[in-house]
Amino acid sequence: MSDLSQKPVADLSEDEARAELKRLAGAIAAADIAYHQHDAPEITDAEYDELRLRNIEIEARFPGLVRIDSPSMAVGAAPAEGFAKVRHGVPMLSLTNAFSDEDVTDFVARARKFFMADILRDADFHLAFTAEPKIDGLSASLRYENGILVRGATRGDGAVGEDITENLKTIADIPHRLKGEDVPAVIEIRGEVYMTHAEFQRLKDHSARFGGQDYVNPRNTAAGSLRQKDPKITASRKLKFFAYAWGIAEDADGNAQPPAATQREVVEKFSAWGFATNPLMIRTESADDLLAHYRTIESQRATLGYDIDGVVYKLDRLDLQQRWGFVARAPRWAIAHKFPAEQATTLLTGIDIQVGRTGALTPVARLAPVTVGGVVVENATLHNEDYIKGIGNSGEPIRNGVDLRIGDTVIVQRAGDVIPQIVDVVLDKRPSSAEPFVFPHICPACGSEAVRELNEKTGKLDSIRRCTGELICPAQGIENLKHFVSRNALDIEGLGDKQVSQFYAEGRIARPADIFTLRARDERAIKKLKDADGFGAVSVKKLFDAIDARREPELDRFIFALGIRHVGETTGALLAKEFGTIEAFRDTAFAAAHHEDGHSVFPEIGGIGETVRSSIMAFFANDRNVQALDDLLAEVKPKPYVVTISADSVVAGKTVVFTGALEKMTRSEAKAMAERLGAKVAGSVSSQTDILVAGPGAGSKLKKAEELGVEVISEDEWFERVGR
């Protein structure tokens, strides 16, 4: 079947025409909505016009098929054509760009060279330049005849723009009638339409609250607002306008009549006529002054309230502009000194602390919104507290060792999709009241102490400060609960990541103890779990039974399940073996944590180093962790860890190695079991090895055991032998 939308109207059958009219009505309505309500046209104007034209043609051929919702019948439908084209009286030129200081000194040197004869001849000859911010908006041209605004147009390709008069008239900074007596008969005023940061934020907030499009940056939003077919929408966007140039300027007889003799005077005139003009324009004769003004403007970028992307320098005298002339389509007498595209200067308005799921406290810089590389940046990562102090990961100074303070003017960099970074501080602009940032030692999510660990290997403090509220911190809560029920921890059947996330979100569980009170609470609850998403009476009973079945967990698993930092399965087993009962472990760790020299209280245990001991003590120093543990122990009774080196244990004193895939137990379970029975578990086969327990897939260890004549048994034989 050929594509109906491509079939000539003359060839359409009645059924096909009906289908096409239906499709077109839908497509045109969708395009209208995209254009009017979202400022985000999904098809080009030409494609849109084509749809409407086809609709009209089909309706003309099949008048009986005209739909009730026909686009041609719609009241107040958008005009079929786009904006009318407007030829500018004088083309709107683009400027040559300068990117370095040298480009600017070259520009001034070229001017001096060109006018050298005048400079040598006349001691009073002054070559002056203006410097003003380059507004990051949209150029527009406004034609006034006898002081009345008759037409406003976009820049377009410079020669021909689009007629957006009605939209431009909604901008408060654009007078409909010029003030004063000395207005030329005809003048085209040029300037930049832009959106302030405040207005951009207002639209974004509105969009966030009521749903709507994603506004990327003020410039694009201003562009979308300006090209609205309904001027009421443009009016609602509160656009602004700065006047800074002109095109045609004629008297009543059609003779050229420049508004004044110099660039600066012309702009002053604009102001007198009723336009908004930028207050940051200066006039100077020195390249150094131009560059100094560039830096001043750059450092004010954060507080201007609107986006700028550089500074424009122009030869001030209009007669000299004329003499110097043009190269290609750009004037020789003006140049745009652009700011680096990926950097912007802004204000550091605050430092927030976020708590990650591992308890890491991460500082985030809050910035006065600034557009960098086409995107509005409002925050930047600060990594850690040393970074704020101006210290890098290896202790080296960053930003020349300058710290960051709230109120600082900072240079933000955004390269590609990388998270924006603060690359420098403008120390000259630091307010005298700015104080060094004090990094919190308390977790903002739960109020627990946050600590920096000593790295045993390097002897240095970890750069990350972490919350010690493992069991109670809401930022860490869900991850800790997932860990608590995971396979090598409590291993509760039917309670996986998905159910934990759901229960956490629904407020059914927040801490491990809550898991074991679920059944009792559910019996009393009005909204019962069996009525929740994904559950039924049978599955709920099964889940509760599975939870109850784990009320007497092995001690090593239980200690591991607590999620104490650095306490993995192996450490859990070592601690279980050392202390024998949860009470002994809890009481010793608690006493050590509350002793001024905890390390003297906590026993030395082979395989457990300084870092682990410290993090155990940090855990038990947090009273709320202890409370959460005690609440849990009210529900759960971990089995005492018994080392049974009984005479009848055939493996007591033997060295055992496990290899291959074990099917009835995890490797850590196997290890713990063998140790309970008095065996020594080794990781590799040697002449000291007594027994190798080999599961399916055993490789080099099996081979070596056979070579050494070590006894090899299967997992089943192991269980037979140990009597389980």
Binding flags for Zn ion, 164-203, as an x/- string (CB under 5 A) = ----------------------------------------
Of 138-146, 168-176, 379-387, 471-479, the segment contacting Zn ion by CB under 5 A is 471-479
Dihedral angle sign, alpha carbons of residues 555, 557, 563, 566: positive
Interface residue with Zn ion among 175, 469, 563, 598 (CB under 5 A) is: 469
Q: Binding to Zn ion by residue 563, rule CB under 5 A? A: no
Q: Binding to Zn ion by residue 467, rule CB under 5 A? A: yes
262-287 residues labelled b (16+ CB within 10 A) or e (exposed): bbbbbbebbeebbbbbbeebbbbeeb
Question: Minimum CB separation from Zn ion for residue 267, in Å?
Answer: 57
Of 22-30, 92-100, 463-471, 634-642, the segment contacting Zn ion by CB under 5 A is 463-471
Among 445, 491, 421, 465, which residue's Cα sits nearest to residue 624? 445
> Closest CB to Zn ion among 358 and 581?
358
Q: Binding to Zn ion by residue 477, rule CB under 5 A? A: no
d(CA 133, CA 313): 9
Beta strands in 17-127 (DSSP E): 85-87, 96-98
> Closest CB to Zn ion among 336 and 451?
451
Question: Minimum CB separation from Zn ion for residue 467, in Å?
Answer: 3
Burial class (CB in 10 A: 0-12, 13-18, 19+), 665: middle
Question: Minimum CB separation from Zn ion for residue 624, in Å?
Answer: 10
- Which of 22, 113, 134, 269 is labelled catalytic? 134
DSSP state of 139: E
Of 125-133, 305-313, 461-469, 607-615, the segment contacting Zn ion by CB under 5 A is 461-469
Of 40-48, 195-203, 444-452, 511-519, the segment contacting Zn ion by CB under 5 A is 444-452
Q: Binding to Zn ion by residue 446, rule CB under 5 A? A: yes
d(CA 283, CA 157): 30
d(CA 266, CA 526): 77
Residue 313 CB contacts under 8 Å (≥ 6 apart), including other chains: 104, 107, 129, 130, 131, 290, 334, 335, 337
Interface residue with Zn ion among 31, 443, 629, 705 (CB under 5 A) is: 443
Q: How far is CA 38 from CA 35, 207, 224, 225, 228, in A?
A: 6, 10, 9, 10, 10
Question: Minimum CB separation from Zn ion for residue 630, in Å?
Answer: 19
Q: Residue 377 — φ and ψ, nearest 5°?
A: -105, 130
Of 62-70, 118-126, 176-184, 464-472, the segment contacting Zn ion by CB under 5 A is 464-472
Of 298-306, 386-394, 443-451, 580-588, the segment contacting Zn ion by CB under 5 A is 443-451
Q: Which residue has the tokens 């919104």?
A: 369
Question: Minimum CB separation from Zn ion for residue 384, in Å?
Answer: 16
Task: Identify the three-state secondary structure at position 704.
Answer: helix
> Closest CB to Zn ion among 262 and 622?
622
Question: Minimum CB separation from Zn ion for residue 348, in Å?
Answer: 25
Is 134 catalytic? The answer is yes
> Closest CB to Zn ion among 129 and 484?
484
Question: Minimum CB separation from Zn ion for residue 355, in Å?
Answer: 5
| Count of residues interacting with Zn ion (CB under 5 A) | 7
Q: Binding to Zn ion by residue 464, rule CB under 5 A? A: no
| Alpha helices (runs of H) in 469-568, residue ranges in sequence order | 474-485, 497-505, 512-516, 518-524, 537-548, 555-561
> Closest CB to Zn ion among 361 and 370?
361
**Rg (alpha carbons) of the chain, rounded to whole number:** 38
> Closest CB to Zn ion among 143 and 465?
465
> Closest CB to Zn ion among 469 and 598?
469
d(CA 487, CA 484): 9
Instruction: Write out the DSSP string of 8-38.
Output: -GGG--HHHHHHHHHHHHHHHHHHHHHHHHH
Question: Minimum CB separation from Zn ion for residue 156, in Å?
Answer: 57
β-strands 691-694, 711-713 pairing = parallel
Instruction: Write out the DSSP string of 612-662.
Output: HHHHHHHHHHSHHHHHHHHHHHTT--PBP------TT-TTTT-EEEEES--
> Closest CB to Zn ion among 473 and 673?
473
Q: Binding to Zn ion by residue 445, rule CB under 5 A? A: yes
- Tell me the catalytic residues: 134
Binding site for Zn ion (CB under 5 A): 443, 445-446, 448, 467, 469, 473
